[in-house]
Amino acid sequence: MYLVGAGPGDPGLLTARALELIARADTILYDRLIPVTSLDGARADAELVYVGKEGRGPSMPQEQIDRLLVEHGGAGKQVVRLKGGDPFVFGRGGEEALVLRAAGIPFEVVPGVTSGVAAPAYGGIPVTHRDRASAVALITGHEDPAKPESAIDWPALAAFPGTLVFYMGVKQLPRIAEQLIGGGRAADEPAAVIERGTLPGQRTVVATLSTIADEAAEAAIRPPSITVVGPVAGLRDEGLRWFEERPLAGRTVAVTRARAQASGLAAQLRELGAEALETPAIRIVPVDSGLALDPSGYDLVCLTSPNGVRHLFERLAAGGRDARALAEATVAAIGPGTARALRAHGVIADVVPERFVAESLIEALAEVPVRRALIARARVARDVLPDALRARGAEVDIVDLYETVAERLDGDARAAAGSADYVTFTSSSTVRFFLDALGGADAIGPATRLVSIGPVTSATLRELGLEPHVEASEHDVDGLVAALLADAAAQAAAR
């Protein structure tokens, strides 16, 4: 049994050990406040058991959680108990470890990044500072209501010479401030509350100890929140705020490409501050003709997408071949993304056009002698490239390596995507299937801005009655992100 801390919410703060154990686990018992993508690395056959608690919502009693821990832990399987933050910092990890010990079940503790340090850091507040705080105290702001009296010595806490960090105390802010001031803490000392720390929707309110409760109430700050009391809270407004300064902070962006690829784009957007909604409208499935793929005998091999590269090499491997099968051919890639995918397999593309569309690839191949060409692509694709090569007298074979099919979106995903600040489209198929999933173009909110990877995708949007607000000048994912950033900056400047 592994008691694993999942960190405060930002998926990037999951430890390498936590990710390793999640990937190996037979069973995962997980809390509510864990990173949204933390279970993505779990095995497809892993048993996922939700044991979350919510202040005013449905909650699983701790006694039932303890029974599940003993039941699964004693079954001879590899079990991960995945807890938000650090399991031994207000996470009941100590209690659960004692239950396991009493049942004779061996366990290992994997610490996680605790929100009492991470949330202030993301809010621009260091909990210690050489000139302002040489100590920090971590305190629960929500004690067990069954206790006959508070275990907190408020006068001693008020006199503590350092930073006070309260977990889960947003509802108790008036009482916390009253007790500290009554115990001798300065009423004008800086204080801050950080809501949803390390997550895209993070909000921070800074005030004084005497006013923080009213300021937080006026801002409608809600759990989960961390409260910081001490001189270090003033450092946020002295230039240390950074999280909200990122270029896409406060914006939601729906990513419609296939799930296997969406995570990479979503990660880029999250690093830039966006709340990335992974709403894949398509799924990539291989097309297997049952025949081994043999590129020998072709003097030109064209790849039109990274997906094509991946499936090409899967088909080559199935036939006992590798990159050497392309050695005698000129290899053309439609753009840098496809060229990078080839390079990952040890092949450097001979031809990469400046613009990443079939028409540009045709121009780039104008001086390349071609007798026999192999075009490896999706099942449904434009015939611009093969038609142009045939017009030059070349013999052209097309191999369909994969196809895109619709991916079902649930109601929550449809609602979120329809009201996002931006929706990104990386192909015509993402446009068609996404609009089908939403029930038509009218389901996209009037304030939502549509971002297209290039002219072909834009043409599909227009065909379906929508005008793209943004079109990437370089027709790959990096170009799409750059165009979105430029538009976000222009929108902010216009406000």
In degrees to the nearest 10, what's the CA dihedral of 436, 442, 446, 449? 20
φ, ψ of residue 408 in degrees (nearest 5): -75, 135
Task: Assess contact for 335 and 352: CB atoms under 8 A.
Answer: yes
C-alpha–C-alpha distance, residues 478 and 465, integer Å: 26
Task: Assess contact for 21 and 13: CB atoms under 8 A.
Answer: no
Which one-letter DSSP state was computed for residue 379? Answer: S
Query: Considering only CA atoms, which of 57, 81, 111 is closest in space to residue 3?
Result: 81
Q: Is 31 a catalytic residue?
A: yes
Q: Is 1 a catalytic residue?
A: no
Cα–Cα distances (Å) from 420 to 99, 295, 443, 462, in that order, read 45, 44, 11, 20
Task: Assess contact for 80 and 21: CB atoms under 8 A.
Answer: yes
Give every strand in the sheet of 252-255, ordered side by side: 275-278, 252-255, 422-425, 449-452, 470-471
Which of 1, 10, 83, 168 is an active site residue?
168
Which of 10, 31, 400, 476 is an active site residue?
31
C-alpha–C-alpha distance, residues 71 and 482, integer Å: 51
Q: Residue 204's beta-bridge partner residues?
A: 194
In 469-488, which positions are buried (b, 16+ CB within 10 angstroms) versus exposed (e)? bbbbebbbbebbbebbbebb
Q: Is 397 a catalytic residue?
A: no
Task: Assess contact for 328 and 448: CB atoms under 8 A.
Answer: no
In degrees to the nearest 10, what's the CA dihedral of 41, 45, 49, 52? 20
Helix/strand/coil for 28: strand
Q: Residue 268's beta-bridge partner residues?
A: none
Query: Dihedral sign, CA of 209, 213, 219, 223?
Result: positive
In degrees to the nearest 10, what's the CA dihedral of 312, 330, 306, 310? 20
Helix/strand/coil for 163: strand
Which of 26, 53, 299, 350 is an active site residue?
53
- The residues carrying an active-site annotation are 31, 53, 168
